[in-house]
Amino acid sequence: MTAPLSLRELDALSVDRLHGVGEERRTSLQEVEIESVFDLLTHYPRRYVDRSREAKLGEVSPGQEVMVVGDVESVKSRRTRNRRSIVEVSLSDDTGSLRLVFFNQAWRSKQLKHGLTVALFGKVDLYRGQLQMTNPLVDLVGDRTGRIIAIYPQSGKAGLTTWDIGRWSTEALRRCEHRGIVEPLPSHLLDDLQLLDRTSAFRAIHQPNSMSEVAEARNRLVLDELLRVQLVLRIRKMHRLETASGIAHRCDSPLLTSFLDHLPFELTTAQQRTMAEVKADLKTEQPMHRLLQGDVGSGKTIVALHALLVAVADGHQGALMAPTEVLADQHYLSLAELAKGLEVSDHSTLMGSRPVSIKVLTNRITGAERQRVIKGLGNGSVDLVIGTHALIQEGVTFSSLTVVVVDEQHRFGVEQRSILRERGRPDGKWPHLLVMTATPIPRTAAMTVYGDLDVSTLDELPPGRTPINTFWVSDNAETVWQQVRSEIAQGRQAYVVCPLIEESDKLDADSAETTKDLLSKGELSGVKVGLLHGRLSAIDKQRTMETFREGRLDVLVATTVIEVGVDVSNATTMVILSADRFGIAQLHQLRGRVGRGAHQSTCFLVTTDEVSEDAEARLRALEESTDGFALAERDLELRGEGTIFDQKQSGRNDLKLASLARDRVWVERARDLAATLVDESGSLEQYASLEDEVRWFIERRDDDAENLLRG
């Protein structure tokens, strides 16, 4: 064969085709998710050592920020009185020596062994007359030569070094030379965007002759990643515009006027603007496909209920789907309270009207009550339903479902949304869809993760929300429990969130039960302490939340089941144990459970062990800001992106090289390019190799390509 190799073909070639990759090495590579030649070529260097710019140790001076290369002469480690670790290393080359000091990085004593050659980047200081670097960046370079050395992510656990990966990448590229790697983009587009062809980009990212070559290669490969995602989203959107039709609503009924007139508070400008955007969508036969994003407490529930009532006012039905029973119950209580006193026309009643019927449907609802709710959905006597996945279980159908709100802390997949569509109306008309997220998303991330949705943003908090004081406590937790007891003495309540052990209900439940027992016998003895975790039955969860909401519990010890939606205005203190185990978004969501009433609220981020630099950056960010959008940008910088189409949790990372935080300009260009390449029917027929690549991209993630593309 002489045709260029496609990414699909490279992905079908096992990495053990390469010299030196036997069974043992293949297993090691699998541990870092390298199974194919494609995986290897996209296991990109994390940084580069430019040996033409390295400084000699005998030439450096205080105040300089430099890169040096030397040999490890000695390593010593010790602990300070407050249990902080210090590792001291002596480094030398043929011109001099340098002292290295690492604070709170005890693992460096195992990494840096006598005789190793390492590259360091950092600032040189003078300490007691000796040149020193504190906490520099470290790369192990071994005996490799060359002007630019690629440094790959390494895995001590898997026994892989940066030079192993570099050697195999070089061999893979050499063996691709005969056929080359397919170029799916027309040459005129590459010229317009000033991009390398794909074969050149892969070579330059792994074997660069200069740092400018690295930058050019990165631009091309970043665009590849972002373009594949944008093409899926564009195809999906164009297909929907081409084929879908829904129900146009009037949006001006007395029911809506009554709802707004009887609200016990003024709407924010952001809420009014967002409601207008949603109403404009609902007035057309083109089904709404909108993302509503807003910070914790920004008033998304009001906007959602208003959209649902538009359907009810026109004689149709609305549904709100939530990811957990706790959140579904919370939404039900909130919506039922807000809709109290509202009536809809019903000519079968004596007065010609009846109260709006709102029901909840979760797996907790069983027996006769479940059958009544399902029957009411089928005959139209239930106007609004709030539920979990129970809404899409076999046997649940609707009379005329025209507005769906999906509150997705974890995204519901395309498949679940399509089931609601299919069962929404007998005539196949699509319901209008409003997707809510309480995690503010940076603009570039929203364009990528939710690129097929229009975006509305609630960017102001309602008046009366009290700011939350946040403190990272690493040494003296006793002050935290004193504060909790002080708040309880004043008649208020607190949450204690247990450390995230892993994504395991059993382990996390064990952790919560242990914490409750220890606190009840120790720091919080004499206080009424309750327990909430994922292993409790639905009835027990509901009972515990009601008891806490009614003030009959002082403290609720919980796992992250309280992360979203739990709303108790009397709770003023949030204590998050082992806070370094949580991400920024999760910490911000947990913190948002307090500060919902008139009293000053406090969040304590408690850590007991040494924390990593990344964890420290996360905790400092939470201390410094309560702005969810600012934190989302910071989170993106610290954490990276992960998978975008992640409902299957396949472990495949959609963005290995691209950074939504750093590559904003390429997100925009990829989106524009996708709009150019995809025709009005949602097809890539003119670009056969690109169309095949998009299908391969979806298939390798174990997704149904046809279903995902039709969305």
Per-residue model confidence (pLDDT) at position 303: 95
112-132 pLDDT per residue, tens:
889 888 888 889 999 888 899
Q: Is the pLDDT of residue 3 over 80?
A: yes
Alpha helices (H) in 386-442, listed in sequence order: 414-424
Sign of CA dihedral 400, 403, 405, 411: positive
The CA-based angle 24-25-28, given to 5 degrees, is 95
The chain-wide mean pLDDT, for the chain, equals 86
CATH class of 254-458: alpha beta
Q: How far is CA 53 from the centre of its chain?
A: 38
Angle ∠(539,540,546) on CA atoms, nearest 5: 90
Give, as one character, the DSSP assignment of residue 101: E
pLDDT at 579: 92
Which CATH number describes the domain made up of 48-151?
A: 2.40.50.140
Give yes or no on whether 48-151 and 254-458 have one common fold.
no
| 584 contacts 635 by C-beta, under 8 angstroms | yes
Both tokens assigned to 264 = 């016990």
SS (H, E, C) 403-457: EEEEECCCCCCHHHHHHHHHHHCCCCCCCEEEEEECCCCCHHHHHHHCCCCEEEE
Residue 653: pLDDT band with limits 50, 70, 90: low
- Beta strands across the sheet bearing 493-497: 468-473, 601-606, 571-577, 493-497, 555-558, 529-532
CATH architecture for residues 468-625: 3-Layer(aba) Sandwich (3.40)
Handedness of CA 101, 105, 109, 112 (dihedral sign): negative
Give yes or no for residue 649 having a pLDDT over 90. Answer: no
Per-residue CA distances from 271 to 253, 267, 295, 442, 589 (Å):
19, 6, 12, 19, 20
Neighbours of 513 (CB within 10 A): 15
Provide the pLDDT confidence category of residue 382 given band limits of 50, 70 and 90. very high
Pick the more confident residue, 702 or 677. 677
Query: What DSSP state is assigned to residue 265?
Result: S
Count of residues making up the chain? 711
Confidence class for position 357, pLDDT limits 50, 70, 90: very high
User: Which residues on adjacent β-strands are paired with residue 470?
Assistant: 603
Amino acid identity of residue 65, one-letter, is: E
Over residues 234-245, mean pLDDT: 83
User: What is the per-residue pLDDT across 151-189, written as a single tens digit (0 to 9) for each?
Assistant: 887 665 567 878 789 889 999 999 999 999 999 999 999
User: Residues 332-344: what's their mean pLDDT?
Assistant: 88
> How confident is the model over 187-200, as pLDDT tens digits?
999 999 999 999 99
226 pLDDT higher than 60? yes
Distance CA(359)–CA(332), nearest Å, equals 7
Contact 408, 327 (CB under 8 A): no
pLDDT tens for 462-483 read 776 777 999 999 877 889 999 9
Question: Is the pTM higher than 0.95?
Answer: no
Q: How confident is the model at residue 652 (pLDDT cuts 50, 70, 90)?
A: very low
Sequence ranges of the domains in the chain: 1-46+168-180, 48-151, 183-243+635-644+662-711, 254-458, 468-625
Report residue 440's pLDDT band, with 50, 70 and 90 as the boundaries. low
Confidence category of residue 419, pLDDT binned at 50, 70, 90: confident
Residues 582-594 have a mean pLDDT of 86
Q: Is 308 helix (H, G, I), strand (E, B) or coil?
A: helix
Tokens, residue 177: 């030379």
CA distance 556 to 595: 16
CB-based burial label for 588 (10 Å; 0-12, 13-18, 19+): buried
- Contacts (Cβ under 8 Å, ≥6 apart) of 206: 41, 45, 150, 166, 169, 170, 173
For the chain, percent of residues with pLDDT exceeding 90: 44
Which range among 45-59, 526-540, 635-649, 661-675 shows the weakest confidence by mean pLDDT?
635-649
Task: Give the least confident one: 195-209, 267-281, 634-648.
Answer: 634-648
Q: What is the pLDDT of residue 650?
A: 34
Place of tokens 């050697």: 167
Per residue in 680-692, pLDDT (tens digit) is: 777 888 899 999 9
